[in-house]
Structure 1
Amino acid sequence: MVMSANERLFYHVLIRILFVAVIAGSLISLLAEQFWVAELFTHFRLYYLLLQALLVLIFLHTGRHTLMALTILFAMPNAWVAGPYLIPVYGGQRATAKAATSIDIVALNVNYRNDGFARVAGYLRERDPDIIVIAEYTPAWRDELEFLRKSHPYQFGEVRPDPWGLAVFSRLPFMESELIDLADTDTVHARFVFAAGMMSLEVFAVHLLPPKSAVWARNRNLQLENLVDQLGASTHQRIVIGDLNLTPFSPYFSRFIERTGLQDARRVDGFHVTWPVSVFPVWIPIDHALADPEVNITSVHAGPDVGSDHFPLEIRVSKGVNKQPGQVRAVFE
């Protein structure tokens, strides 16, 4: 197929625009700890990396070696951060059927403005997990999820008319349970402990503030700091689940992982996006399952579209101890 001069000019300009845009996004991402807006660019590092791989092939084919070298150079920070999440997509081991020795957990931000109650209820009835964490738990959602009181008799939470209500429903009895407010931000989070075989698991179910302004971003980071302190006081094996409103590509996520000694359990099954539920391909993973290395999480993946702006996060935890934890747990002084 022979392209016209106008078509060649169009693709030439398009490729140059893409080249400049991806480099700009990559550079701005490096300033994430200096400017709150710059952190928003870090969430798309995987997309930058994929586009840079495409540009390398185009420049290699067209003999644009200088542009190819520049693309590779600016791709390196993205590859360092986002690249590891591509490996399990092909090599990860997925647990399929539920075993009697496993515990299924679903964490779902239902969206407090969402009135698609039937879809969420149908999904929860079909999946029937052992533990359910509902974020943005409103009076309307309390009424529509009333059926969980029979199937999951152990429950606690707080109803709110705003996005900061949260509830936990469980088939398993709690050894401990309480609601917590991270960093005095007037938000609801949950801490609970339950027995999983021969060990006890302490779960922090959280919904952190979205970084939609400098103040909100700073308060979200304070919530992370407070959560680090609470995790450091734990005497159990620990799991953090919920909507953290940041991706694994943010430096604040990396710092949180480093300070707590937790591992990103998402890597068991590879890269799974949870927000937003949209036809436009700008999906990012802001709902997380983080755990101590000794906690044997065998599966983490996104569930189906249930009418919210988030996909559910489905987590499977084995009751057995992970015999190859990969690293020791951090010690807090």
Structure 2
Amino acid sequence: MADFPRLQLAVGLAVVLALVLWHSDEPMDELLAVVLALCLTYQLARVLPYTPLWPRQVADAKGLLGAPRLRILIANVLMENRDAAPLLALIKEHAPDVVLLVETDGWWAERLLAVESRYSHVLRRPQGNHYGLHFMSKIPVEDIEVRRLVSEDVPSVRARLMLAPGREVEFHGLHPRPPVPGQDSDERDAEILIVAREVRERGMPAIVAGDLNDVAWSHTTRLFQRISGLLDPRRGRGTFSTFPVDYPMLRWPLDHVFHDASFRLVRLVRLPSIGSDHFPMMIDLAQEASAEADQPAPQPDRADIEEAEEMIRQGLKVAGGERQMPEIKRPTY
């Protein structure tokens, strides 16, 4: 979890550095200022790409005629939250094409019946352990499946969305197990990187979304991007921090939507609170023919690939059981 508070550390370091410079009257103050400046530079190097001061990784959509559009809403509902009305109102107001909800249990499954009729494809996996999920799509879907990539009690979803004739995109919805202080993040990292490896090797347009329980600037998330080749629409726009709702100064960007270079961005927005400890996120994408030429995909080197393979093996080992490295199944057309 050392990657999480980099933004807060940068702010704190900047304040302390300013105070040291303001009251500097001892030789040691100059040395302290240099050390603080170096630490601040290191932190800023990780978080500045997620501010408007940095070039955008995803270009704005050009509004090309006939380009397929896709609106996705993702939310961690907080299993103990017993007020479904705010979420249902957001779904009705924004009419997303795809909805991914995590931490849904039986109570939430019953309340979501109020909006399921708006969607032609619904997948429900309510669970009482904070890892339930709910997937709904207006877009025609093929090959939808629930998977348990690392742990039997932590499901994820993979579905092929048929945006238009000849325009398909593979959607992955994730909510890996979070790290906690004093424990490792091996299982989370393994699940994220298994999907990254699949996306690259299957070689079709892809979207990976969900509460990844990791910040945008972490080593694992950046490795995920290089392995998968997916883009982060946050880069160059803002952190869009989603957790925790009740503590603005401590918020981190834990809820993500990554996509391949065939999409440009129409809109990315953090939606109002729904009573959860996470804010929902909504993204509008346009799959435009010329997008890939303007948006170079991240590329891994050999060391990245070897590191990802080792992290996957370690995560599967920590999770226990007899799980082996998942085989990559090529899509059929």
Same structural fold, with TM-score higher than 0.5 when normalized by the shorter chain: yes
Match of 2:197 in 1: 229
Q: Which runs of 5+ in 1 are unaligned?
A: 1-39
Q: Which of the residues 248, 254, 258 maps onto 1:286?
A: 254
| Post-superposition offset of 1:94 | 7.3
SS across alignment from 1:263: coil
**The residue matched to 1:219 in structure 2 has which SS?**
helix
Query: Counterpart of 2:22?
Result: 61
C-alpha distance in 2 between matches for 1:69 and 1:114: 47
- Show the counterpart of 1:12: none
Distance in 2 of aligned mates of 1:199 and 1:50: 44
State the secondary structure of the residue aligned to 1:87: coil
Q: What amino acid is the match of 1:59? A: V
Q: Which residue, out of 206, 215, 223, partners 1:255? A: 223
TM superposition score normalised by structure 1:
0.79
Structure 2 unaligned spans of 5+: 306-327, 329-333
The alpha-carbon deviation at position 280 of structure 1 amounts to 4.9
Residue pair 2:76, 2:211 contacting (<8 A) in 1 also: yes
Q: d(CA) in 1 for partners of 2:182 and 2:18?
A: 38
1:86 maps to what in 2? 51
The equivalent of 1:307 in structure 2 is 275
User: Residue 156 of structure 2 is aligned with which of 176, 189, 204?
Assistant: 189
Query: Over aligned residues, Cα RMSD in angstroms?
Result: 2.7
Paired position in structure 2 for 1:327: 296
Once residues 225 and 92 of structure 2 are traced to their aligned partners in structure 1, the CA distance between those partners, rounded to angstroms, is 33
Question: Which residues in structure 2 correspond to 1:103-142 (within 5 Å)?
Answer: 103-142=70-109
Distance in structure 1 (CA, Å) of the matches to 2:41 and 2:14 = 11
In the TM superposition, residue 121 of structure 1 has moved relative to its aligned partner by 1.3
1:239-278 residue pairs with structure 2 within 5 A? 239-267=207-235, 269-278=237-246
Give the 3-state SS of the residue equivalent to 1:169 in structure 2: strand
TM-score (norm. length: structure 2):
0.79
Structure 2 residue identity aligned to 1:158: R
Q: Distance in 2 between matches of 1:54 and 1:228?
A: 38
Q: Which of structures 1 and 2 has the bigger CA Rg? A: 1
Which structure has greater helix proportion?
1
What residue number does 2:36 align with? 71
**Which of 155, 168, 178 is the aligned partner of 2:145?**
178
Aligned to 1:20: none
Does the 8 Å contact 2:75/2:100 carry over to 1? Answer: yes
CA distance in 2, matches of 1:330, 1:185: 31
Structure 2 match to 1:204: 172
